Amino acid sequence: MGLDIRLPIGMLFTIFGIMLIVFGLFSNPALYAQSLGININLAWGIVLLVFGAIMLFLGARSMFFSSRPAATPDPEGREPRH
C-alpha cells in the first residue's frame, strides 16, 4: 500500500509527546501528588516524543528511498527494512 504506517504513527506520537511535555512544564505541580510526585506528563512526554521522532525518521527514509517512481504506488517495491 502506498502509505507507510510509520509516518502516521510517528506524527501521532510526536504530537502527543509535545502536548504532554508542554502541559507537564506549565501544569500545577500539586497535580503530581497522584503519580508519586513524579511529573509523569513531562517524563512520559519525552519518551513519546523520542519514539515518534524515530518512527518519523524511519518512515521518511523508506519513502525517500523506495518511492521514487511515485506516480504508481507499487507494493512490490517496498520490502520492509527489517
| Distance in Å, CB of 15 to other proteins, minimum | 6
Q: How many residues does the chain have?
A: 82
Using alpha carbons, list the distances in angstroms from residue 37 to 27, 33, 58, 66.
13, 5, 35, 47
- From the list 57, 77, 81, 59, the residue with the least C-alpha distance to 69 is 77
HSE (CB half, 13 Å, CA atoms) of 50?
Answer: 6
Q: According to CB under 8 A, which residues from 13 to 72 bind other proteins?
A: 13, 15-16, 19-20, 23-24, 27, 31-32, 34-36, 38, 40-41, 43-44, 47-48, 51
Which residues bind to other proteins, rule: CB under 8 A? Answer: 1-3, 5, 8-9, 11-13, 15-16, 19-20, 23-24, 27, 31-32, 34-36, 38, 40-41, 43-44, 47-48, 51, 73, 75-76, 78-80, 82
